[in-house]
Amino acid sequence: MNFSKIKEAEAAHYMPVFSRDSLAIERGEGNCLYDINGNKYVDFVAGIATNILGYNHPEYTEAVVAQVKKLMHVSNHYYTEVQSRYITRLCEASGFPRVFLCNSGAEANECAIKLARRYFKNHGGDKVILSAAGAFHGRTLATLTVTGNAAQHDRYSPLPQGFDSFIYNDFDDFKRKLTDDVGAVILETIQGECGVRPFSNDFLVNAYALCKSKGVLFIVDEVQTGMGRTGTLFSFEHFGIQPDIITMAKGIAGGIPMGACLATEEVGTAFSLGDHGSTFGGNALACAAADKVLEILQNGLLARSQEVGEYLGNRLAHFSKYNFISDIRGMGLMRGIQLSDKIPAAAFEGKLREKGYLVNVAGNNTLRIIPPLTITEQEIDGLVDALDEICASTNA
Ligand SMILES: *Cc1c(COP(=O)(O)O)cnc(C)c1O
């Protein structure tokens, strides 16, 4: 099928919600993607921070193929050894004793919200959940409500009740909003979709301490920042805080749809029989994939991602010399380069693509760099050189 046929089918049949790049991808190998014309691209998008092992990782592919042949899905009516093996590994690695497995980031956050509400019922009754302006937590109605995007809120009103928001990184506003009605706070340590926007260390440490002192649950959405993305297994580890609930998805199973909500024993047992569920959640295929991804992280990839993430940060610092680069942000292998308003980031994205490098635009005119954790120094050098050529030939 040629490119125009592929595009026509999308235009005719897909609900018109996505603005896609003019690129049809055929296959991946290592940290590279190949389009239908055989052009090669080094991938700094990774299916939006999802393909953390890149493409056709030998050990991962072997484990997934073996599981496909053996058993893919039986529902949670039955036990499977592979799910039991995975939840043991995940709970041991994360330090959270309770988990619920689902299929996406939105579902993981929906689970966290429902779990918090169940917990409130046992602790004095209904409470409000507070989230940050500019946050992204998903597209179900509840997760859309905690996502700080006013236009989206208007489109889907009426929204579920029991939510409020605070200004990103503004501790005074946070303190004001954290009334006795609030039972839980949900945030990303680095707002990904909003353009790789980190909370300050001070904000997180103080907000956490205040929540602890008031008995307010602290929920960290690690959907994008988790699985080694920032150099530690979870981003909250950088701040010396211990959330009550965290959520995961994206990189958790290396590209097979999966999400997880993890909690302390006290909070995680607020659910009882029949309170929540999922047909696909934690099925044998997803668990086999996720178990292999976590094993590979534990066997050296996490340490490696930390090293290469620092390398990426050091190389990107170089771009601050260009006056049209207004900010360089992020941690580990999650970085954002914000361009001044005069230069559309999408134009830079397109030029990088012509040079064989994929990045994407997130939030406020920001190039987002979220490669597989297997990315190499040489591939990073290639991106930096390509971006430098583009910057050097930009008049602004
Ligand atoms: C992507 C993302 C989500 C939503 O995940 P889906 O799998 O698309 O539902 C939620 N939270 C954060 C921080 C994300 O980056």
User: Do residues 340 and 364 lie in contact, with contact meaning Cβ atoms separated by under 8 Å?
Assistant: no
pLDDT of residue 395: 82
**Residue with the nearest Cα to atom 8 of ligand 1?**
105
Cα gap 355→41, rounded to integer Å: 8
Q: Terminal CA-to-CA distance of the chain, rounded, Å?
A: 41
- What is the secondary structure of 120-152 as a DSSP string? HHHTTS--EEEEETT----SSHHHHHHS--HHH
CB of 106 closer than 6 angstroms to any ligand 1 atom: yes
CB of 198 closer than 6 angstroms to any ligand 1 atom: no
Whole-number Å distance, alpha carbon 252 to ligand 1 midpoint, is 12
CB of 131 closer than 6 angstroms to any ligand 1 atom: no
Sign of CA dihedral 272, 277, 283, 288: negative
User: Do residues 115 and 263 lie in contact, with contact meaning Cβ atoms separated by under 8 Å?
Assistant: yes
Cα gap 180→1, rounded to integer Å: 59
What is the phi/psi pair of residue 258, to 5°? -165, 150
Atom of ligand 1 nearest to the CA of 109: 10
**pLDDT tens, the chain, 396 aa long:** 899 999 999 999 999 999 999 999 999 999 999 999 999 999 999 999 999 999 999 999 999 999 999 999 999 999 999 999 999 999 999 999 999 999 999 999 999 999 999 999 999 899 999 999 999 999 999 999 999 888 899 999 999 999 999 999 999 999 999 999 999 999 999 999 999 999 999 999 999 999 999 999 999 999 999 999 999 999 999 999 999 999 999 999 999 999 999 999 999 999 999 999 999 999 999 999 999 999 999 999 999 999 999 999 999 999 999 999 999 999 999 999 999 999 999 999 999 999 999 999 999 899 999 999 999 999 999 999 999 999 999 987
Atom of ligand 1 nearest to the CA of 249: 7
CB of 226 closer than 6 angstroms to any ligand 1 atom: no
Cα gap 167→108, rounded to integer Å: 24
CB of 105 closer than 6 angstroms to any ligand 1 atom: yes
CB of 197 closer than 6 angstroms to any ligand 1 atom: no
Burial, 149: exposed, middle or buried (Cβ in 10 Å; 0-12, 13-18, 19+)? middle
164: how many CB neighbours lie within 10 A of its CB? 15
CB of 268 closer than 6 angstroms to any ligand 1 atom: no
- Smallest Cα–Cα separation from 229: which of 192, 180, 201? 192
Against a cut of 0.85, is the pTM above it?
yes
Cα gap 198→191, rounded to integer Å: 6
- Which helix or strand (DSSP H or E) is residue 93 part of? helix 81-94
40: how many CB neighbours lie within 10 A of its CB? 11
User: Do residues 254 and 60 lie in contact, with contact meaning Cβ atoms separated by under 8 Å?
Assistant: yes
Cα gap 199→41, rounded to integer Å: 32
- Smallest Cα–Cα separation from 118: which of 220, 263, 241? 263
13: how many CB neighbours lie within 10 A of its CB? 7
pLDDT of residue 265: 98
Residue 296, token pair as written in the block = 């590979």
pLDDT of residue 1: 85
